[in-house]
Amino acid sequence: MPAKAIMVQGTGSHVGKSLIATALCRIFRRDGFKVAPFKAQNMSLNSSATPDGFEISRAQAVQAEACEIPPSVDMNPILLKPMGGFGCQVVLRGRPFATLKAGEYYDLKPILWEAVRESLKRLRERFDILVIEGAGSPAEVNLRENDIANMRVAKAAGAPVLLVGDIDRGGVLAWIVGTIELLTEEERELVGGLIINKFRGDIELLRPGLRFLEERTGKPVLGVVPYVEGLRIQEEDSVALDRPKVKREGEVKVAVVRLPHISNFTDFAPLEAEEDVSLVYATSPDELEEADIIILPGTKNTMRDLIWLREKGFARKL
């Protein structure tokens, strides 16, 4: 019997889809089920290696750990690695496939969708439950025709959708209502419920908003997840580097040069966790002055980042 599936989609990027999906993976595993994560297509500069040497997104590798299983390429058949103005590298089933512009990528949709279907089928044959994660928002009307990461996957897997909204950014009620209303009628039927993520404060003050959401959308609010400080789950996108960091006066001062096309920056997460290490992502040569250790990280665009290093004065400082 094919695995049952549940899908986590969001009102946008960075609303907490990956974390909610990871939590569900661990909950189902603790309940005794054989569970696996799945994300059809992920765009990220950070990746993980599978035990057999292939490449998948960092989020699905973390989710596999929550399921207490090794990661595999079926969990993330398509990985897109942006390369600045040169388009993006397409990693198909763990191997570099092509470097393409957006229009060229859409031309490959039949091949890519077949890879998604095959991976989904294999996982459903091996596990009891699949926890599927969407990408970005399902309501991008300009991208809907070529979207192979959201509602099309939910339909293929027969998965009810949990729609996650981030209240910490503000405007979550409008965000959720707008997302629901931009879906087609068939897509709205797939939405099983709503989740409010990153809540701080008094829940009683939120209850009128929750009632409004249920009345306006016809969907139940299934949960309100509190904001959690200090989560050390690895991030996928370099936008995470722009968030304020807790500053520590550690004995060892480490400066990582914040290249425009930085890749695999999560390699430095263990340093961030060390109490006696002060870690900064330097965007100015002046930030290197007091560093004991300076690190030049990996990049997905070597020549452009070399030009940037020279233009910003890093080359002279180094």
At residue 271 the predicted structure's pLDDT band, cuts being 50, 70 and 90, is: confident
What pLDDT does 24 receive?
A: 98
CA torsion, points 52, 57, 63, 68, in degrees to nearest 10?
A: 10
Identify the CATH number of the domain in which residue 34 sits.
3.40.50.300
Q: What is the pLDDT of residues 280-317, one digit of tens each?
A: 888 888 888 888 888 998 887 788 888 888 888 888 88
At residue 234 the predicted structure's pLDDT band, cuts being 50, 70 and 90, is: low
> Is residue 231 domain-resident?
no
What sections of 69-168 are H helices per DSSP?
102-107, 109-126, 151-157
Q: Are residues 204 and 289 in the same domain?
A: no
Report the mean per-residue pLDDT for the chain.
90
Q: Are residues 220 and 253 in the same domain?
A: no
Q: Are residues 32 and 138 in the same domain?
A: yes
Tally of structural domains, the chain: 2
For range 140-166, the mean pLDDT:
95
> Is residue 233 domain-resident?
no
Angle at 258 between CA 253 and CA 263, to 5 degrees: 115
C-alpha neighbours within 13 Å on the C-beta side of residue 22: 17
Percent of the chain at pLDDT exceeding 70: 92
Angle at 153 between CA 152 and CA 156, to 5 degrees: 90
For range 153-167, the mean pLDDT:
97
For range 103-115, the mean pLDDT:
89
> Structure tokens of 39?
């994300």
pLDDT over threshold 80, residue 266? no
Backbone angles phi, psi at 305, to 5 degrees: -70, -30
Domain that holds residue 142: 4-226
